[in-house]
């Protein structure tokens, strides 16, 4: 195959646009620039022993070909062949007819234009996030024809040529990494060899091998995080991608010969029932995806993608501690209960005191009135402003919970069906919920009064936005259910941005049944995200560590629910998890006494000391926790090194037996260290030995935290 290559180097990343000189098909490869000399020449044709038995007049079967950097589906053009239908919409004639037309640079962006004989163009926009090692990728579809065209698929990104360091099919050397997710079980790493997923090429390369995954609906971290990585374990290189979209999305690991491909974007017609009509002269642009390639494994690649999150404003740089009363009152907060907590935490590092669900007007024991957002005057007789003022008088910032995208069954708002989402002509009902239609200006006006107005009038400085079910595959009101859902989600995003614009000092927590909205777009709008709803469970440290792989700790709120019945060991176990992100306290934290209170005071002081490491650093995970997250065994440690190498934070947990008698955490850093602060049980020992931190736990379900400072040279 005769090809032309256009190369660009950004930072330590080499971009290779490979163009087929005969048909103009164009693919994108990215590699570590330092490894350019290790790229090998691929075999041209399949050369297995079975080829000797084929008729001599048959052509040779190509072992590789250029896979297009844009994947598109257009209604009316033929479907893909090679047994793909129902498994993949990639590489249909709508894609394979795309031809290279030109490339231009605009600032930090490279824009490549591909044209199709059917009268449309696709602009592939790749932008360098300077100083990060991260690329932002999106695609624009332009209808240059004289008739409407219906899109059924359009990728945000598509990488090909994996792996350029292997001459052949790289048997046993390629691995796909994903992070599975379920309610209260978010972010579990799933790493599989291509062979385990049947992503081997067939003997002639004729059939398609595909692993398509994602989610359809409005909970973007349901089933999987919108993240994937491919690793060449032989070369020690990993490619990773993350999609920034809080609606339906998909990714595909795809193969039909030696080279593997990874693509993703909006869920397509088959996966998310999405189709969109583009009028002549009009265009459509995908959500952004973020890409990187590293010399290293999945953790190094995921860590690098965290750079897409910008630094927070000055008020958040010390990572103020949050106290949320949900696991204190369990939906029955009152003015007096909030002030009891405020009195306990005044003059402590606790900065935000959040009133959770239950502040609205409801009969005792009833929880189905959300949507009207009227204050319960029995619980807050002088209104929320009086409570908020009293909290501020004690030196803290008052916060409040909303689930403003829905109306529940006993609310008057539940009857406003003309302003709610419908499917097949009837309101979408999920359990007790109906969903506001955020394409409707009335909804924006209503919620501007109910939400923004209340926050402003009451002097609330912290907003927790919850969202507790999914709309599903789509709704009415557009040319397809998936497109109607997409435009609704765009409306939701506009309202979040309106909150930010009108209340710029507001601290905004993104929550959705815990951690079901931990995706880059909404997390970029919010100050931080909730890690999970696993508030009382023993697997909290594992879930918290899962999230640290994908979310910067400074934006990742992790809970410790504390009880008066807790032993010191259990208190430490719970508190230690919060050192993996933004500390949030709940339960009976304000009622601890004696040794319990002393432990909490120690933990708060230690947390203040290590926040610079949490803000800027790199994390490495150690240990093994067994097959079950619900019933963990073994041990786990997360060692986070400050960006300047001067300090380290180690958070370690042991679970049920078996676990080591002495837990050894490799520091992986040259030089001498000292333990500057720690949190562990009195009957346990913590020490340094060479380049290792040694902790000797005395029982199962114990934890320790160590703050290390460098004393020797780096």
Predicted confidence at residue 368, as pLDDT, reads 76
Collapsing DSSP to helix, strand or coil, 518 comes out as: coil
Question: At 313, is the pLDDT very low, low, confident or very high (cuts 50, 70, 90)?
Answer: confident
Helix axis angle, 568-577 relative to 540-548, nearest 10°? 20
Alpha carbon distances (Å) from 579 to 115, 138, 164, 680, 682: 51, 35, 40, 13, 19
Would the pLDDT of 403 be above 60?
A: yes
User: 1 pLDDT band (50/70/90 cuts)?
Assistant: confident
Asked whether the predicted pLDDT for residue 690 surpasses 90, the reply is no
The pLDDT score that the predictor gives to residue 577 is 98
Question: Could you report the per-residue pLDDT of 553-568, keeping only the tens digit for each?
Answer: 999 999 999 999 999 9
| Mean confidence (pLDDT) of the chain | 95
221-275: per-residue pLDDT in tens?
A: 999 999 999 999 999 999 999 999 999 999 999 999 999 999 999 999 999 999 9
CB 27 within 8 A of CB 260: no
pLDDT at residue 714 above 60?
Answer: no
Predicted confidence (pLDDT) at residue 203 exceeds the cutoff of 90? no
595-619 residue pLDDT tens: 999 999 999 999 999 999 999 999 9
**Cis ω on the peptide bond leading into residue 443 (within 30° of 0)?**
no
Residues 6+ away with beta carbon under 8 Å from 314:
none
Whether residue 278 contacts residue 148, with contact meaning beta carbons closer than 8 Å, is answered with yes
Q: What percent of the chain has pLDDT over 90?
A: 92
Tokens 């024809």 belong to: 145
Q: Which CATH class is domain 3-308?
A: mainly beta
Q: What's the pLDDT tens digit per position in 275-288?
A: 999 999 999 999 99
Q: Is the pLDDT of residue 593 over 80?
A: yes
Confidence of residue 364 (pLDDT cuts 50, 70, 90): low
Q: What is the pLDDT of residue 50?
A: 85
What are the residue boundaries of the structural domains of the chain, listed by start?
Answer: 3-308
- pTM equals 0.96
**Radius of gyration of the chain measured on its C-alpha atoms:** 27
3-state secondary structure labels for all residues of 181-244: EECCEEEEEEEEEHHHHCCCCCCCCCCCEEEEEEECCCCCCCEEEEEEEEEECCCCEEEEEEEC
Phi, psi (degrees; rounded to nearest 5) at 36: -60, -35
């Amino acid at each position: 195959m005769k090809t032309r290559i256009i190369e660009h180097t950004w930072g330590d990343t080499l971009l290779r646009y490979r163009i087929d000189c005969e048909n103009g098909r164009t693919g994108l490869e990215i590699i570590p620039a330092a490894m350019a000399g290790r790229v090998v020449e691929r075999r041209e044709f399949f050369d297995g022993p079975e080829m000797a038995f084929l008729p001599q007049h048959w052509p040779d079967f190509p072992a590789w070909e250029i896979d297009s950097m844009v994947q598109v589906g257009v209604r009316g053009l033929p479907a893909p062949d090679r047994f793909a239908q129902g498994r993949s919409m990639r590489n249909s004639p709508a894609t394979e007819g795309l031809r290279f037309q030109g490339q231009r640079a605009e600032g930090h962006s490279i824009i490549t234009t591909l044209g199709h004989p059917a009268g449309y163009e696709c602009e592939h926009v790749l932008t360098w996030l300077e100083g990060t090692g991260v690329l932002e990728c999106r695609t624009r579809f332009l209808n240059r024809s004289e008739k409407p065209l219906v899109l059924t698929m359009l990728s945000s990104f598509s990488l090909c040529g994996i792996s350029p360091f292997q001459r052949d099919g790289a048997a046993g050397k390629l691995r796909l990494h994903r992070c599975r997710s379920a309610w209260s079980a978010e972010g579990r790493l799933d790493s599989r060899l291509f062979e385990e997923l049947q992503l081997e090429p067939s003997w002639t390369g004729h059939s398609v091998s595909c692993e398509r995954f994602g989610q359809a609906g409005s909970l973007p971290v349901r089933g999987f995080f919108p993240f994937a990585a491919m690793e060449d374990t032989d070369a020690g290189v990993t490619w990773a991608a993350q999609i920034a979209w809080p609606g339906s999305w998909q990714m595909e690991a795809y193969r039909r010969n030696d080279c593997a491909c990874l693509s993703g974007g909006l869920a397509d017609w088959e996966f998310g029932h999405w189709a969109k009509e583009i009028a002549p002269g009009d265009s459509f642009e995908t959500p952004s995806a973020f890409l990187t390639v590293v010399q290293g494994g999945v953790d190094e690649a995921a860590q690098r993608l965290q750079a897409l999150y910008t630094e927070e404003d000055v008020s958040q740089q010390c990572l103020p501690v949050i106290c949320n009363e949900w696991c204190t009152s369990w939906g029955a907060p009152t003015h007096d209960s909030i002030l009891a907590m405020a009195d306990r935490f005044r003059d402590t590092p606790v900065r935000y005191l959040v009133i959770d669900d239950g502040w609205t007007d409801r009969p005792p024991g009833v929880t189905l009135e959300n949507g009207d957002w009227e204050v319960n005057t029995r619980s807050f007789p002088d209104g929320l402003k009086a409570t908020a003022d009293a909290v501020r008088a004690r030196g803290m910032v008052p916060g409040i919970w909303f689930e403003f995208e829905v109306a529940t069954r006993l609310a008057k708002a539940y009857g406003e069906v003309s302003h709610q989402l419908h499917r097949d002509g009837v309101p979408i009902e999920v359990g007790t919920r109906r969903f506001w239609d955020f394409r409707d200006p009335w909804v924006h006006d209503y919620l501007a009064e109910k939400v923004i107005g209340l926050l402003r009038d009451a002097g609330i400085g912290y907003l927790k936005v919850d969202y507790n079910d999914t709309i599903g595959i789509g709704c009415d009101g557009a040319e397809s259910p998936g497109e109607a859902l997409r435009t609704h989600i765009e409306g939701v995003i506009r309202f979040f941005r309106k909150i930010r614009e009108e209340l710029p000092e507001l601290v905004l927590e993104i929550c959705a049944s815990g951690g079901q909205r931990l995706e880059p777009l909404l997390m970029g709008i919010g100050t931080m995200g909730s890690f999970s709803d696993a508030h009382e469970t023993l697997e909290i440290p594992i879930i918290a560590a899962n999230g640290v792989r994908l979310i910067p700790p400074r934006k990742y709120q992790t809970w410790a629910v504390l009880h008066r019945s807790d032993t010191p060991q259990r208190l430490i176990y719970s508190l230690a998890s919060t050192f993996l992100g933004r500390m949030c306290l709940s339960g009976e934290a304000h009622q601890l006494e004696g040794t319990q209170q002393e432990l909490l005071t120690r933990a708060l002081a230690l947390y203040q000391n290590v926040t610079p490491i949490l803000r800027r650093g790199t994390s490495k995970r150690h240990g093994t926790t067994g097959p079950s997250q619900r019933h963990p065994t073994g041990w786990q440690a997360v060692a986070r090194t400050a960006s300047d190498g001067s300090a380290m934070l180690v958070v370690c947990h042991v679970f049920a037996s078996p676990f080591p008698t002495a837990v050894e955490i490799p520091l992986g850093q040259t030089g001498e260290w000292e333990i500057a602060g720690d949190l562990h049980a009195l009957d346990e020992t913590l020490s340094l030995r060479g380049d290792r931190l040694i902790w000797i736990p005395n029982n199962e379900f114990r934890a320790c935290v160590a703050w290390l400072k460098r004393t020797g040279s780096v």
